[in-house]
Amino acid sequence: MPWIAAAIIASAGVSAYQANKSRQQASSQQREALAQQAADAARMREEVTRQTQAYSQQATSLQQQADLARQQFELQSQTYRDNKLAMENKAKEVQAAADEERRKAAASEASALRARTRGGRRSLLSGERMDSELGVGMSLGGSSGMLQ
């Protein structure tokens, strides 16, 4: 029986040793896995930080492009408004000049019509008037206005 007890104790000792060794291996593997997870997490954080910086740079660039486009649009809009106002003013000036020309032409035509309808023998440039009122004859053909 001592042999059996010794065998049982030896067997229990071997089992305990193997269990302890297994626990140590499991603990070592668990520490390695945790270290690997920590390293992976650190790499992921670095990657996320790098991507965040890249997106931030892109956002800044896009914001600058949008600001530049807005400024260009405002400049073009102002130029358009200025040109439109200048064209409207020019059109008003042209219209006013055309109206003035029409008014002058109408006044001249009315004056000529009035002179034709009321003129006749009373016309100021009529040679008969000069002869009948003054008794002096004039030759209207020359520029010197010779008296007869």
For the chain, give the percent of residues with pLDDT over 90: 57
Residue 14 has a pLDDT of 85
Least confident of 12-21, 30-39, 99-108, 124-133: 124-133
CA angle 94, 100, 102 (to 5 degrees): 100
Residue 10 has a pLDDT of 80
Model confidence band, residue 146 (pLDDT cutoffs 50, 70, 90): very low
pLDDT digits (tens, 9 = 90+) for 60-95: 999 999 999 999 999 999 999 999 999 999 999 999
For the chain, give the percent of residues with pLDDT over 70: 79
Question: What's the rounded Cα separation, in Å, for the pair 127 and 125?
Answer: 6
| pTM for the predicted model, two decimal places | 0.42
Residue 145 has a pLDDT of 47
Question: What's the rounded Cα separation, in Å, for the pair 125 and 27?
Answer: 135
pLDDT digits (tens, 9 = 90+) for 29-62: 999 999 999 999 999 999 999 999 999 999 999 9
Which of the 8 DSSP states describes residue 120?
Answer: G
Which alpha helices (H) appear in the chain, and where do they start and end?
2-118, 127-129
Q: What is the mean pLDDT of the chain?
A: 84
Least confident of 16-30, 86-100, 132-146: 132-146
Q: Which tokens belong to 10?
A: 């030896």
Model confidence band, residue 122 (pLDDT cutoffs 50, 70, 90): low
